[in-house]
Structure 1
Amino acid sequence: MKINKNLIVTDTKPGDDWKFDAILSEMTGLRWTVLDGGLQYKLGNTREKLKRYINFLWFPFRLFLGRKKVKNLIAWQQYYGLMYAFYCLLFHAKKENYCMIMTFIYRQRKGFLGYLQKKMIAKIVNSKYVDRILVYSQSEKEYYQRILGATKFFSAKLGLEDLTIGIEKQNRGDYILSAGRSNRDYDFLIHALLGQEHQVRIVCDALPAGRNENIRIYDNVYYEKFFQMIADCYCVVIILKDSEISSGQLVILQAMQFAKPVIVTESKAVMDYISDGQEGFIIPKDEQSLREKIDLLYNDKELYNRMSARARESYEKNFSMRSLGKQVADCFERDMRENCGKEN
């Protein structure tokens, strides 16, 4: 494992268009390098899941062993940052570096095991080994501060590299697309749209592949194949299970990149990414509202075209990788100034 002074750790190898390290280097004046954990995104079978869990334990431990070589650590994969801090706590290590954890998502579980998990997460995020934690909405920041008692959270708008490059463009396909794994309610979606006139395609590796009337489920579609499905769809629908949990932003932005209107159920977090009636619709979680908005998009071509154009425009203006890099760089430099002030 080659460890450098200013390190960004990811679970998978970033694509050529990612460039977050170059953006951060430009904006902070430091040379940032990327170290990936060697994982593949697909989680289609038990073996892949087991490899991922082992990696989440072993890779951060290797970081821990090389911690004296690192001055600044940004964990793009949250579990790398959390487990790194856990090992520092476990071995009562001297604090050697600045650590920022990105893309933090925590869903509180029920029962005694859920209680223990919450205690452990709270101990880690409140430890001296974690300096800053990034979340992707203001409501999410307030929620985690309340349940974990930590003041280290800061909110930023998620940013993505342009995934449309190299994907064959199709202005308007004929099917509805739903995708993602975290906090999705596919039972609701299937019940609402089964037997309806429009074709529906669901991409989720946590569901068994299959077909039932107008609904088809894919459990092994990733990267370019998935991006092509977004390019070929008519619109994107996201049904969230728990409105308190921040999720869905990634697929929302992917849809916006390809100029696809989005229909998403109400959540405080999604309001930072989509305006109702502009890039799509934010709806209450009821089947009639969902079917009405779908019919409206299919029947009102002027509205559809306006939302499509607005979606792409919003991505370019507010949610690029450069925009995310600037937010992270600004936070990092504020923390550096505060740390210098404390030392002086």
Structure 2
Amino acid sequence: MDYRHLGRSGLVISEIVYGNWLTHGSQVENDAATACVHAALDAGITTFDTADVYANTAAETVLGDALQGQRRESLEILTKVYWPTGPKGHNDTGLGRKHVMESIDGSLKRLRTDYVDLYQAHRFDVTTPLEETMVAFADIVHSGKAHYIGVSEWTADQIRQGAELAKELKIPFVSSQPQYSMLWRVIEEEVVPASDELGLGQIVWSPIAQGVLTGKYVPGQPLPEGSRATDSKGGADMISRFMNDDVLGRVQQLKPVAEQVGLSMAQLAVAWVLQNPNVSGAIIGASRPEQVTENVGAAGVELPAEVMTAIDEALGDVVVRDPAKTLEGMPKGRSVAS
């Protein structure tokens, strides 16, 4: 395993990050989830990413249980706040002070820790003044409940606004957690330059495009049983944007590229995102320990320039680059029951 500074902060994380979105507390039984976490630890992964919304708080509980017995100081535990949790009442969502302050306490209890290393705003809240949110984050940092703060799926302008307030409040705003893969490059034009300027590092999710970049989905062939594309609990919806013959056919052209450098297609995909110097870590998920072991094989890999070019040529115009896609996917507001 290789390790990188998170942006220009003093925090060092494993460049492969273990995440439990769509798995722990949902798709994967607890024993299997624990086995995956232990496989990650055995492979040198020290950084674990979760969120209160995953499986409506159950994922945090599973991760907290799985990490028991480990030296806390040797781990970096990351979680997030925004999306509805609990009974999903009118204050059970968003980045208002009430929800943020209550959410950190719930997360710490479920994770069985006194603090998280990084507390992240899971989305931008257009209904709450940003200053209110950032003051709440400052109070969390100053109380010792989180060491650093970050955001997920914010635009470059929103990141700049947050960074300005963080500087005034004297709290370390160090990271952005966006979707990023060979197929989804919407952060490259605006978010990455802004983050680089401000000293933020990217901790990217879905580097394998929810499994599409493994090559297991073949045009004209039945979907593999038990795959993300067959998951009715949310996985199929997330992967649907890539499930067309044009994209899947292009992905099949990556097989000889991966073979050329002695990598599996999954390893090639993870290694590709790690070539971006603004990326501090790539989040992988797993339902079986052997998936963790395979993906860790991307750590420390340097892809030659000709391989990066071959990837671009294989994928062609199916790559999504429009930075406006980040804004399009942002919640327009919080629904409040009457």
Q: Output the TM-score relative to the length of structure 2.
A: 0.36
Larger radius of gyration: 1
- Structure with the bigger RCO (C-alpha within 8 Å, sep 6+) is 2
Q: State the TM-score, normalized to the length of structure 1.
A: 0.36
